[in-house]
Amino acid sequence: MQSKDQIGQSTKKQALTVDVEDYFHVSAFEGVIAQSDWPTLEFRVEKNTYRLLELFEKKQAKCTFFTLGWVAQRCPNLIKAIVEQGHELASHGFAHQRVTDMTPEQFRSDVSKSKQVLEEAAGQAIIGYRAPSFSFNDSNTWAYEILSEQGFEYSSSTYPIDHDLYGVPNWPRFKFQRPEGILEIPVPTVRKNNNNIGIGGGGYFRLYPYWLSKRRIDNYLNVEKQPYSFYFHPWEVDPRQPRVGGASVKSKLRHYLNLSRMEGKVIRLLEDYQWDTMKSVYLDRGI
Ligand SMILES: [Zn+2]
């Protein structure tokens, strides 16, 4: 039998997030696709995101869309649809560069350009930011100062796990206020054998069977009593996307693994929990 606490937690809302980028923007392919090639590649993110909007409407889920400025420039109507349907629009930067590869000046320029494009298309202020590939770490904490100066209020740019491409295993696991005035909301993890295991979505969610992901999420909610947040990408529900040649076997395995099963898993997740925006769940503010 569930305790009152467990029942209380399971009826609370969790935060649903989508990083709005296309299959050719991902960091795994940055070595084989140049930014100058992006306009020549088949653009699929618009159609895929409209499909997600339909799905969220059907399942009565609200979501935060961390959107690339590069995408918003190409489909302002999609941005309007996101906002009109009561979701939160937030920034994923302009050109999907890892913050670890940028100078403070480059970061300021990328982030302010994305904010401007998104705000123009949406007609409302953008307060949330997510760094490409969760690339905030000890080497670039100056980024918080710049986010604050640009009018952002929160960030979800850290993943406290040990991983070859990203991760800050020694950073906090739950939301915390940075001295620069930004609320940082890390991707959720569970503790196992003195390690943090990522349970926030993406590749892990595609790799593991749904029952295991659900068991870990339930464990997190019951033990930690913290809100849960989930992230995924429009290209993860697009098994027919063009295959990128020249990438490493590891990158291809990560990117293409279980794409055909992803949508079914996301639908189960939408049905098993109640979903709202980052702003509502973590800042307790409506849209
Ligand atoms: Zn991304």
Q: What is the pLDDT of residues 3-44, one digit of tens each?
A: 444 444 556 899 999 999 999 999 889 889 999 999 999 999
Kindly give the distance from the C-alpha atom of residue 135 to the centroid of ligand 1, in angstroms, as a whole number.
Answer: 10
Please give the model's pTM, rounded to 2 decimal places: 0.94
Kindly give the distance from the C-alpha atom of residue 247 to the centroid of ligand 1, in angstroms, as a whole number.
Answer: 17
List the chain residues with pLDDT less than 70. 1-11
Residue 1 confidence (pLDDT): 44
Kindly give the distance from the C-alpha atom of residue 252 to the centroid of ligand 1, in angstroms, as a whole number.
Answer: 16
Q: For residue 220, which phi and psi values (nearest 5 degrees)?
A: -60, -45
Nearest CA to 181 out of 217, 127, 132, 133 is that of 127
As given in the structure block, the two tokens for residue 166 are 């990203």
Kindly give the distance from the C-alpha atom of residue 187 to the centroid of ligand 1, in angstroms, as a whole number.
Answer: 14
Residue 256 CB partners (closer than 8 Å, separation 6+)? 243
**Structure-token match 């980028």, residue found:** 21
Kindly give the distance from the C-alpha atom of residue 49 to the centroid of ligand 1, in angstroms, as a whole number.
Answer: 14
